[in-house]
Amino acid sequence: MAHDRVQIFQVSTLYGAATVAAALDAGQFGAPGHARRLLLVSNNAEIPETAVRIDAMTGYERIAARFDEVVDWNEAVHPHHPSSWAPRPEESPLWQRVLRTAWGLGSATVEVIVESIQVNPAKALAAVFAESAVHVYADGLMSYGPTRDELPQSIAARVRRVLHLDLVPGLRPLLLTEYGVGAELVPDDAFRAVLREIAEDGGEDGRLARAVAAAPTALLLGQYLAVLGILTGEEEEELHLRMLRGAAAAGHRSIVFKPHPTAPASYSTALHEEAARTGVTLTVLDGPLLAETFYERCRPGLVVGCFSTAMLTAAVYYGVPVARVGTGTVLARLTPYENSNRVPLTVVHHIVPDLEGAAEPAVPGAAPDGLAPLVRAVGHCMRPTAHPGLRAETLAYLAAHGTGPAAALHFPAERLAELDLRVPARTT
């Protein structure tokens, strides 16, 4: 059936696709049949040919079934890389005609739904469909931070809303607020239902079955920070070993490690050796699975990570206690200051207990009173020109919380000097 309206949903991760599916199920993009819906899949890995494709992930078919058609952005822009290609302004109308023909869009009104609007491929897609309304959905914790780069006004003026999960209940996103864009929650029950649906597809996965059979009580989440240049490979390997030692010290005797899909196999080897020394059973879950699929099948008593979104998913949607390892180290290493991982790190460091500290792992719950002021102050320091209205609030925060080691982790003296955010010395 021909439609006079088409919605193009751009996704690059299964977690993001699950967020979109939940928004669809909740009616946030209109009733079924309201528009023809295209799932536009992009593989943004540095070398796409060597990365796990989203359509190889367990549960993908369940997500894809919600759409009228699936199209491949990598194929559309080949031989260019989807993270680097964008049309020149004068070429955008030509590209729109090409894609309308290739995807059978005709003269239909198009809406685009994208992640990470400030970078390609989302930015390129919005540029190609230059008259289209744009909806942004948040793939994780980065929505709580400021927009990474300034958007062309031609795109910013068309953004209607930011859809996001309530990963930190009560905390509002900063993303795109400088353009007056409001945030809209994707309902918890809708997202949880999608996660259950994805997990049903994991029933035939032998790797998941073996992990569940080990009766683990703790899950360790690997993040490949070495590829981002934040840690060296050796330092990241040691980070994972610290996770294992901490979980073992907390009494967990059967542990699952879920490595990042692009992490080297040597990480798992070192963990197995450490597990043998520590006297715990270690199972590596290295299949194309979301961590949430594991949560559904085997509710652990602890999830450990550095600043993975899957930590907060465990706490919010499954009530699993969480703990962090290494956030202070990564915060201190993170460059440049405006690195978009800074706010996810800040949030996790503030609300998740340190596995190597005195506090017990916990379910963080609603955002504590001090979190939003901290995030807003960090956001201002990251993008001061985007949020000049937060300067006075940031100065007040810095004056109230001092400039000791804890504050310096979030507000290095060099950055404060660069922004002329000198805090008056306290009088006693």
The encoded tokens of residue 295 equal 């949560």
Instruction: For residue 27, give every residue at least 6 positions away whose Cβ sits within 8 Å of its Cβ, in sequence order, or none.
Output: none
pLDDT value at position 417? 94
pLDDT value at position 206? 84
pLDDT value at position 50? 63
The encoded tokens of residue 251 equal 């009494």
DSSP type of residue 182: E
Q: Is 2 helix (H, G, I), strand (E, B) or coil?
A: coil
pLDDT value at position 263? 65
pLDDT value at position 262? 63
Domain 205-351 is found in CATH 3.40.640.10: no
Dump pLDDT digits (tens) for 117-174. 999 999 999 999 999 999 999 978 999 999 999 999 999 999 999 999 999 999 999 9
pLDDT value at position 114? 98
pLDDT value at position 252? 97
Q: Is the dihedral of CA 347, 352, 354, 355 positive or negative?
A: negative
Angle between helices 309-318 and 342-351 (to 10 degrees): 50
pLDDT value at position 175? 97
Residues 390 and 399: their CA atoms lie apart, in Å, by 14
pLDDT value at position 426? 55
So where are the chain's domains? 5-192, 205-351, 371-418
pLDDT value at position 205? 80
* Domain 5-192: top CATH class: alpha beta
Question: Are the C-beta atoms of 145 and 375 separated by less than 8 Å?
Answer: yes
Q: Is the dihedral of CA 23, 26, 28, 30 positive or negative?
A: positive
Pick the closest to residue 378 from 402, 424, 412 (CA basis). 412
Ramachandran region, residue 85 (left: φ > 0; alpha: ψ -120 to 50; beta: rest):
beta
pTM of the model: 0.94
Q: Concatenate the DSSP letters of all residues of 106-153 into one string.
A: TT-EEEEEES-TTSTTHHHHHHHSTTSEEEEE--SGGGGS--SSPPPH
Q: Is 69 helix (H, G, I), strand (E, B) or coil?
A: strand
Residues 177 and 387: their CA atoms lie apart, in Å, by 9
Question: Are the C-beta atoms of 271 and 282 separated by less than 8 Å?
Answer: yes
CB contact burial 51-66 (16+ within 10 A = b; e otherwise): eeebbebbbbebbbeb
pLDDT value at position 425? 58
- pLDDT by residue for the chain (428 residues), tens only, comes to 557 999 999 999 999 999 999 999 999 999 988 899 999 999 877 777 667 789 989 899 999 999 999 999 999 999 999 889 999 999 999 999 999 999 999 999 999 999 999 999 999 999 999 999 999 999 789 999 999 999 999 999 999 999 999 999 999 999 999 999 999 999 999 999 999 999 988 777 888 888 988 999 999 999 888 888 889 989 999 999 999 999 999 999 999 999 876 666 666 888 999 999 999 999 999 878 899 999 998 989 999 999 999 999 999 999 999 999 999 999 999 999 999 999 999 999 999 999 999 899 999 999 999 999 999 999 999 999 999 999 999 999 999 987 678 889 999 999 999 999 976 555 44
How many Å separate Cα 311 from the centre of its chain? 11
Residues 48 and 73: their CA atoms lie apart, in Å, by 12
Instruction: For residue 179, give every residue at least 6 positions away whose Cβ sits within 8 Å of its Cβ, in sequence order, or none.
Output: 147, 151, 156, 157, 159
pLDDT value at position 44? 79
